[in-house]
Amino acid sequence: MAVERVTTDFNVSLLDDFAEANQFTEEDLLTNRTKKISNAQMLRLGIQAMRPFFSALVTLIGWLIFVQVLRSFLPRFLQVLIFGKAAGGIIMLVGCVWAVIVGFLQSSKLTFLLLLDVLEGTAASIQGRVDTSKTEEDAQGLDKFHGEKKWSYRYVIKKIELEVSEEAYELLHTTYEQQRPTVTIYYTPKSKMLLSVDPGG
């Protein structure tokens, strides 16, 4: 009985940690256990799938506002000085528009696959010990033009790779580095987006 109680306490603590790091609730998990996707998860994943497009669009809007502010408030001679040599500005504008197009294409593919998952409404699951991976990728939005990079983090379980936050990645490299638990992971079958992690599964 003592061993069972300790195991139960560990699973509760583990569930709380995974839920906080991966942004799912107990209600989400209960729904996933029935092989369904909760309504809250549909909304959250939809926003996540459109993030590359939103990031690029915000950059484009910000650049256009910046140019308009310069045209509205700078003296005429400064406008001529700045916009008279507008090659850099044109390149920046073209780059922003291109980033929006690329972001839209990236988001559209993931959003389409997610839409198919939502219409079907079925969650997939896989059980095992979780490994992690991370890769360096080009940043989105304005950071892309500064040549900055960003890290993409994933949970890996039996050749299934699911993108997660840095916090979710670091959880397995701090608290559970020495003892990787066996869990059940629920995810969307086609778009491969993480729904929840179930240590009691």
Cα distance between residue 40 and residue 43, in whole Å:
5
Mean pLDDT within 26-49: 89
Q: Are 171 and 187 in contact (CB under 8 A)?
A: no
Is pLDDT above 90 for 21? yes
In this prediction, residues 52-71 reach a mean pLDDT of 67
Those residues whose C-beta lies under 8 Å from the C-beta of residue 148, and which sit 6 or more positions away, are: 139
| Helix ranges restricted to H, the chain | 2-22, 26-33, 39-49, 51-73, 76-83, 87-120, 142-145, 166-171
Is the pTM of the predicted complex or chain greater than 0.75?
Answer: no
Highest mean pLDDT among 18-22, 62-66, 69-73, 81-85: 18-22
Which residues does 69 contact at the CB level (< 8 Å), separation at least 6? none
Listed in sequence order, the residues at least 6 apart from 104 whose beta carbon sits closer than 8 Å to its beta carbon are: 53, 56
Mean pLDDT is lowest, of 29-38, 55-64, 140-149, for 140-149
The candidate with the shortest Cα–Cα distance to 174, out of 21, 23, 29, is 21
- In this prediction, residue 72 has a pLDDT band, given cuts at 50, 70 and 90, of confident
Averaged pLDDT, 60-68: 68
Between CA 175 and CA 1 the distance in angstroms is 25
Q: How confident is the model at residue 118 (pLDDT cuts 50, 70, 90)?
A: confident
